[in-house]
Amino acid sequence: MAESSAGAAETRPAFRARHTPSFWYRLTNSEAVLALVCIAPATLLLLFILAYPVIQTLAFAFYSRDLLKAELGTQFVGLANFAWLLDYDRFWLALQNSVLLTVVTVFFELAIAMVVALMLAEPFRGVGIVRGLFILPWAIPTIVTAFVWRGLFSPRYGLINQVISEVGRLVSGPSYQFQFDWLSNSAFAMLGVIIVYIWRGFPFVFLVLLAGLQSLPQELSDAARIDGANGWKEFWYVTLPQLKPVILIAVILRTITVFNWFDLVWLLTGGGPQNATLVLPILVYNRAFVAFQVGRASVITAVMFVILAILTYFFLSQQRDEEHAR
Amino acid sequence: MMSRARFTRRAYLRLIGGTVGAVAVAGLATACGTPPAPTATPAPAAKPAEKPAEKPAAPAPAAQPKPAEGDKTLVYWTFMPTDQRFAGRKTLFPQWGEKNKATIQIEDVPAGNPFNQKMAAAYAAKLLPDLLDPWDSNATISFASQTFIIAVDDLVKDIGKDDFFKVGLDFGTWKAKLYGIPLIGWPHLMHYRKDWFEQEGLKPPTNWAELLDVSKKLHGKTKDGTQIAGISGFFASIHAPYMFQDYVGPNSGYTFNEKGDVVINSKEVREALTMIKDLVPYFQAGYGNMDYGTTRTQFVEGKIAIETDSTSMANVIVKTKPELGAKVSSVLLPFGPSSKKDRSGFNGISYFSIGSQSKYTDLARDFLKWFYSTPIYTEAFMTYDWGLIPERRSVAESQDWHKKVPEQAKPIIQAGVKAAELSTFPGQDFGVNPIANKLLADDVYRNLLQKVAEGKETVDAALKWAEDEVKRIVKEN
């Protein structure tokens, strides 16, 4: 060892000349190549099943294709579809409705799920059954959810109006009857849709938060309590900060889902009344499968994709910044 | 240490490299090698040829059975489920098959997007069906414009063009060529509870003044223990255009004139919308989000006195509530004050077409000629569900068929045949108009009805809005 150290300066060039590793040796011993080879199958698969359709959809945004005028074929129209979109008042209305629906739904899902998760985080007798019941709405098929809620909102026979009627009878007399068409009234339809979205979606957030809560170290909470923190302070200063990464993931996933959710709102209101619940996925559906305009449907999809990509990047960068700060 | 010695990183990379290389060599060899001998069947999953009609749905366009020696198989995609709606195919089609040494292989495909997607995929794979029945005019025209189906003018001429209802021919025509032979129609009618009308001393309305009057008199009455609604309203996105047309058509109103100019803001349409507005208090609760499938259910359950709906009501009564047959009757939609009585409400019409990639075009044409011959077409309607109107006038009006129609369905069928002559389509008043689909995509008719019904705007203001919308959409397209 000492010998080699002493003579290192003189011997290194000669050694290098004789022992420069071959290209093949470097290739087969490279960490980077190994990493590339390991992730290549998954990457190729993802490229095929995810990137290809996305790129094709984005590409279609620059083409005009009307299936009812198929003889015109597919024509490159540059930014014409984008120009059309900017002038299309229903797009702005749908965007506004989509943002409202997503923000309100995700906020309340998070709030309700947090309360329920905190209540059910600690074990008690029958906790499994109670947790199962809270997860139930998530397991019900969308079509069943839609028809059950349409029934509940039904103006004449719906449970909601029946309950209000019963209360009204106690106050105003036995002849009182409340009949309100929740989903057909342009002022209330969005509220109805939001309620159903929250009901259907909060179990997922609840599950994510519950898993997060159960993985938190108990020591910090114990220490906070010893230091005299009450329940609220313990939650605000100890539990919530630790849960932040989990919350962020739940918010990202739910934002993407709610923003792209088509079937539930379609089955509940079809985007009406008077476009009160018209959201971007309905706009895409109508453009692609009613108007048969593939290019214009694609341009709306492209905008949705960009919005969600920016939002996801924003959320993830928040998380990264926090991790760096720690 | 042992495992590291046995399976090093280098060994791993060699393994991967070797595998990739082997796959590449094998791929090259396959690509450059001798092609496999051509086979008659492109699909591995062959169905038994002797029982073609018993398979309820085909999983993929490629799933065609190998025909028997000397036999030819014509693949037929239909949106009308065989077992539920046209069981007679199973007995009728083999009659033709035996004479022609051919088999009609029936595959049920749901109407709408599943059918569209399957057609597009099959076209790309050169596996279009030999025969198909596009479920409506839009589907026919869409398939025609994509060259999925071929023109059938000469075939219809041979069968007897004058015998078909003109509306059916007009709406299967694209660029002056007919792409589907009109098959069945289900025009809209006014169905009403005859027993309740008699109890109240009312007569079925023939005009709007009478319609408003009877709706008003019946609304809120208690019948069979249920508080009933006077008349049905259906504003759900999917059916609102039909509701619009059920009032605008019978008042001789149009969205476009013959030259394609926007004429929706007219006296006739204004009167129709005013009528709908006047009827709103007598609609069933929840009309704003209902389709006419739901109002039909409510009518059958005794919750609505008058229902605007298609002739399919006959099948519902015959098969699910035969006892209602004596209590229900049907008439043409009442005419409005400006009506020339030459137009009525909506009609759904389906067609029979030939796929453009068929290897057996002559055989397919022969089959259609046979199918549309008076005795076979009449027999077919004895096995269709009750409530579908034949598109050949001679069959629709034939006593042979009417005699076989169950008693409960007779008033509906009789009125339906009259309505088939007068039927109309929203936005397509003078034949096929692709702009109509754009109006549907932007929910123009539904929004118009909702504006009128909510009453926040006057009918004039709502109509002006609709006119501007239609003009905008025309300009954009």
Q: Please determine, for residue A174, whether its predicted confidence score (pLDDT) is greater than 90.
A: no
Tokens, residue A229: 């923190």
Q: Does any domain span residue A213?
A: yes
Q: Which of B9, B284, B450 sits opposite A273 (nearest CB)?
A: B450
Structural domain total, chain A: 1
Which tens digits make up the pLDDT trace of B155-194?
A: 999 999 999 999 999 989 988 999 999 999 999 999 999 9
Instruction: Count other C-beta atoms under 10 Å from residue B315's C-beta.
Output: 21
Q: Position of tokens 């895409």?
A: A284
Residue type (1 letter), A55: I
**CA nearest B455: which of A186, A312, A202, A204?**
A186
- Residues B245, B425: contact at Cβ < 8 Å? yes
CATH code, domain with A275: 1.10.3720.10
Q: How far apart are the first and last CA of chain B?
A: 72
Q: Does any domain span residue A117?
A: yes
- Residues B98, B46: contact at Cβ < 8 Å? no
DSSP state of B123: H
> Per DSSP, what are the bridge partners of residue B103?
B73
The H or E element containing residue B351 is strand B347-354
Best of A184, A262, A299 to mutate (most B CBs within 10 Å, chain B) = A184
Which tens digits make up the pLDDT trace of A82-131?
A: 999 999 999 999 999 999 999 999 999 999 999 999 999 888 888 899 99
What was the pLDDT predicted at A146? 94
- Predicted confidence band at B20 (pLDDT cuts at 50, 70, 90)? low
Q: Please provide the DSSP assignment of B289-309 as one string.
A: G--HHHHHHHHHTT-EEEEEE
Q: Does any domain span residue A14?
A: no
What was the pLDDT predicted at B33? 41
Q: Which of A183, A274, A292 sits opposite B142 (nearest CB)?
A: A292
Q: Does any domain span residue A224?
A: yes
Q: Does any domain span residue A154?
A: yes
Q: Please provide the DSSP assignment of B165-231 as one string.
A: -HHHHHTTEETTEE-SEEEEEEEEEEEEEHHHHHHTT----SBHHHHHHHHHHHTT-EETTEEPEEE
Neighboring chain B residues of A274 at a CB cutoff of 8 Å: 447, 450-451, 454
Residue of A172 and B193 predicted with greater confidence:
B193
Quick check: B450 and A272 CB within 8 A?
Answer: yes
* Topology adopted by domain B188-345+427-476: D-Maltodextrin-Binding Protein; domain 2 (3.40.190)
The yes/no answer to whether this complex scores an ipTM above 0.90 is no
Does B291 reach chain A within 8 Å, measured CB to CB?
Answer: no
Using an 8 Å CB-CB cutoff, list residues of chain A that contact chain B.
27-29, 33-34, 37, 66-71, 84, 90, 150, 154-156, 179, 181, 183-186, 269-275, 278, 286-287, 289-293
Which tens digits make up the pLDDT trace of B215-256?
A: 999 999 999 899 999 999 999 988 999 999 999 999 999 999
What are the helix (H) ranges across A47-79? Answer: 52-60
Quick check: B441 and A29 CB within 8 A?
Answer: no
- A194 to chain B, minimum CA–CA distance in Å? 17
Quick check: B447 and A90 CB within 8 A?
Answer: no
Residues B332-345 have a mean pLDDT of: 94
Decide: helix, strand or coil at residue B346: strand
Q: How far is CA B133 from the centre of its chain?
A: 10
Does B280 reach chain A within 8 Å, measured CB to CB?
Answer: no
Q: Write down the domain spans for chain B.
A: 12-186+347-420, 188-345+427-476
- B214 to chain A, minimum CA–CA distance in Å? 22
Q: Does any domain span residue A153?
A: yes
- A246 to chain B, minimum CA–CA distance in Å? 36
What was the pLDDT predicted at B237? 85
What was the pLDDT predicted at B89? 87
Rounded CA-CA distance B247/B243 in Å is 7
Q: Which of B147, B286, B451 sits opposite A184 (nearest CB)?
A: B286
The top-scoring range by mean pLDDT among B39-43, B137-141, B451-455 is B451-455
- A203 to chain B, minimum CA–CA distance in Å? 28
Neighboring chain A residues of B437 at a CB cutoff of 8 Å: 68, 290-292
**CA nearest B103: which of B182, B158, B45, B48?**
B48
**CA nearest A238: which of A247, A229, A246?**
A229
Q: Which of B10, B235, B454 sits opposite A29 (nearest CB)?
A: B10
Q: Which of B16, B286, B434 sits opposite A155 (nearest CB)?
A: B286
Q: Which of B235, B286, B437 sits opposite A292 (nearest CB)?
A: B437
What is the bridge-based pairing of β-strands B222-223 and B226-227?
A: antiparallel
Q: Please determine, for residue A9, whether its predicted confidence score (pLDDT) is greater than 80.
A: no
Neighboring chain A residues of B10 at a CB cutoff of 8 Å: 28-29
Q: Does any domain span residue A65?
A: no
Exposed / middle / buried, residue B27 (Cβ in 10 Å: 0-12, 13-18, 19+): exposed
- Predicted confidence band at B70 (pLDDT cuts at 50, 70, 90)? low
Neighboring chain B residues of A179 at a CB cutoff of 8 Å: 285
The pTM for the full model equals 0.79
Q: Which of B440, B443, B476 sits opposite A275 (nearest CB)?
A: B443
For B12-186+347-420, CATH gives 3.40.190.10
